[in-house]
Structure 1
């Protein structure tokens, strides 16, 4: 029997939504990695996964991103990536930076990321720091319901920084802005509409204090 309202929907639909969100987050994670040979070799797999989940706004954003950047010369795209995601220009992919800046508190935040991964049976072994947005997206996309919920909680907790990065990328006019829009589309609720305030915060940036990562490394916590 079909419901006369939108109050109920089948479990399979909810599962489809969760699977589609996981695919979009995993695809976005790859899109936000440095565009090396591994990135280019995985593009067909990403396109195939996005095609499987059907027409969705976030998926269309990621497909458009791939259409755009894959037409660039590889060296030009790599140079563009390095320029765009430069913390000196207030465009960081490291989530704790947006909240803590280069302060002592950031070391504690990085430890928290690794602790959460371990609590869900996953050991962070990446070369980047554990708050690297692609790593958090991958954590939220893989490993079952527990990591998915914990990953979404991390993304929600750091959503202000993600939204500020989105606005900063829109200001630059880079194709990577579309990837951040896709990421934000997977989060509950609407994105902030006050672009002027978000831009002001993005340009002001987080607090700054030396030794932020020294304390993290001094405790013997590896990346």
Structure 2
């Protein structure tokens, strides 16, 4: 594997739940970032500065900020299939299919995360050939663009991760296309919004199927209406450039 694609592991670490190991590995992460010439110098500088910030932060503060960002509401969920299938039955089959992909590649999972957790998925991609990486990043491009726009709207450093991923396939401009929609969305991480979701997701017993139950909620309908369609064209990882 091209050593430059170890950058996917860097992004996986940055996007995962903070740990003491992450903070201690800051110099190593920065070295890998600076060696990824597919990223322009300003992006490498931003990512490196973020690593420096993490190394100088209190772990408890980082953990609290992470939970506040990703565990309150669903708009910036790191579970890919939540953006694709919502709560429908299709999500379970998608999980099975992805697990089969992992197994066929000899990629072993522990029980800590679901298979569509984006940091875990990036770990998997870091083991694959460039052509396959390009294909997968192309298929999840709409999710990455929307996630990037929403994280930017929240002024989060985590927006750098989808931006860096899309840059690898020359598609970073797709985030800008979704900024107006992201800025117009009402926040889903406020106490009022979270209470409303709980109320709307109360199961009505007259539902005819599990899928009907999920679609009764406003959130379920919204996610179903945003049904993801794969991009048909072949997308490749851009080649490295000079430093």
How high is the TM-score relative to the length of structure 1? 0.72
- The answer as to 2:125 corresponding to 1:140 is yes
| Aligned-residue RMSD, C-alpha | 2.8
Counterpart residue number, 2:21: 38
Pairwise CA distance, 1:123: 2.5
Match of 1:90 among 54, 75, 78: 75
Asked if the contact 1:23/1:50 (under 8 Å) is kept, the reply is no
SS at match of 2:159: helix
The 1:170/1:176 distance shift into structure 2, 3 A limit, reads same
Pairwise CA distance, 1:201: 7.1
Counterpart residue number, 2:97: 112
**Per-residue deviation, residues 13-70 of structure 1 (Å, max 9, x unmatched):** xx9xx542x1321110110111122222322321222234469424333212212333
Give the Cα–Cα distance (whole angstroms) in 1 for the partners of residues 146 and 34 of structure 2: 29
Pairwise CA distance, 1:159: 1.6
Report the more deviating stretch, 55-64 or 118-127. 55-64
Give the Cα–Cα distance (whole angstroms) in 1 for the partners of residues 122 and 186 of structure 2: 21
Q: What runs of 5+ residues in structure 1 fail to find an aligned partner? A: 1-14, 213-223
- The answer as to 2:151 corresponding to 1:169 is yes
Asked if the contact 1:29/1:137 (under 8 Å) is kept, the reply is yes
Pairwise CA distance, 1:81: 0.7
| Matched length | 189
Alignment of 1:65-84 (within 5 A): 65-84=50-69
Report the more deviating stretch, 102-111 or 181-190. 181-190
- The answer as to 2:160 corresponding to 1:181 is no
Q: What runs of 5+ residues in structure 2 fail to find an aligned partner? A: 189-200, 202-210, 216-243
**Per-residue deviation, residues 74-123 of structure 1 (Å, max 9, x unmatched):** 21111001111126141111111111112211111111111111222222
Counterpart residue number, 2:236: none
